[in-house]
Chains A and B, each alone.
Chain A
Amino acid sequence: MAERLYNRLLAIRSERGLTQAGLAELVGVSRKTINTVENGIFIPSTLLALKLARALGRPVEELFSLEPDQIGD
């Protein structure tokens, strides 16, 4: 079975009032990187996942999960 990574990046970014470009600026990556992670097209490296979590001030497991129901506040 194909595994996928669920993420709450869009929701948490919106909560923080950040645009994709704004978050990209904070993390030091391209807007495309944020877009592809949010849309589930691209699974980020551990390094990028940790950078995203740090930029948003949340633990990384709150941003990413293997099961959709594990993602929640």
Chain B
Amino acid sequence: MPQISDIELADRLSRRRARMLSALAILFLAGQAIYFSGPDVPTRNVDQLKVSAWLVWAIVLLVLLGTGGGLMRTGKVRALMEDEPTSANRLRAYSFGFWSASGTAVGLYIVSMFEPVSGREAIHLILTAAVAGALLMFGMLERRAHRDG
């Protein structure tokens, strides 16, 4: 198998990360229907498992966004994957996630004036908006950064 340079390897991994994070964000959003089809208060084991799985998924996605992945790679490859444009894109993604969460919180506050919203539902929606919003923005900015011309 031909040896590839660290620059080429970092380039491939970075492209893959951009595609993967975008896809995971869409899956994460699409998966929300499962959680809201259950009861308001999870009492059965299966419902508690669903809520726990969502939380674990959200934490894993946050860690992936924060670290950028590639933890098994050499320091040089990781540094190349975490270059200046990536850091700038991550900051913009965090900002977008913040505004997504804030917008969702405002929306929920308004909704709560007309119908009750449980604390768990509110936290779920706000965290989902923050995580999915930031991931989608990061994936989009990174894919744009890789595009030639």
CB within 8 Å of B: which residues of A? 21, 24-25, 29-33, 35-36, 39, 41-42, 44-45, 48
How many B residues touch A, CB cutoff 8 Å? 19
Q: A30-B11, A36-B85 are in contact. List 17 more A-B contacts (CB 8 A).
A: A25-B5, A29-B80, A31-B11, A32-B11, A32-B14, A32-B83, A32-B85, A33-B83, A33-B84, A35-B147, A35-B148, A36-B145, A39-B149, A41-B85, A41-B145, A42-B84, A44-B84
A21 adjacent to B85 (CB under 8 Å): no
Question: With A25-B5, A30-B14 in contact, do A45 and B144 touch (Cβ < 8 Å)?
Answer: no
Chain A residues lying within 8 Å of B16, measured Cβ to Cβ, are none
Nearest CB to that of B10 among chain A residues?
A: A30
**Closest CB-CB distance, A47 to chain B, in whole Å?**
9
Main secondary structure of the interface of A (DSSP, over half): helix
Q: Can you give 29 A-B contacts (C-beta < 8 A)? A: A21-B5, A24-B7, A29-B80, A29-B83, A29-B84, A30-B11, A30-B14, A30-B80, A30-B81, A31-B7, A31-B8, A31-B11, A32-B11, A32-B14, A32-B86, A32-B145, A32-B146, A33-B83, A33-B85, A35-B146, A35-B147, A35-B148, A36-B145, A39-B149, A41-B85, A42-B85, A42-B88, A44-B84, A45-B84
Which B residues fall within an 8 A CB radius of A?
Answer: 5, 7-8, 10-11, 14, 80-81, 83-86, 88, 144-149
Task: State the CA gap A24–B148 with chains docked (Å).
Answer: 15
Residues of A contacting B146 with CB < 8 Å? 32, 35
B97 to chain A, nearest CB (A): 20
Question: Within 8 Å CB of B7, what residues of A?
Answer: 21, 24-25, 30-31
Minimum CB distance partner of A48 in chain B: B84
Q: Tell me which residues across on chain A come within 8 A of B148, comparing CB atoms.
A: 35
**Complex: how many Å from CA A30 to CA B89?**
15
* Cβ contacts under 8 Å, B80 to chain A: 29-30
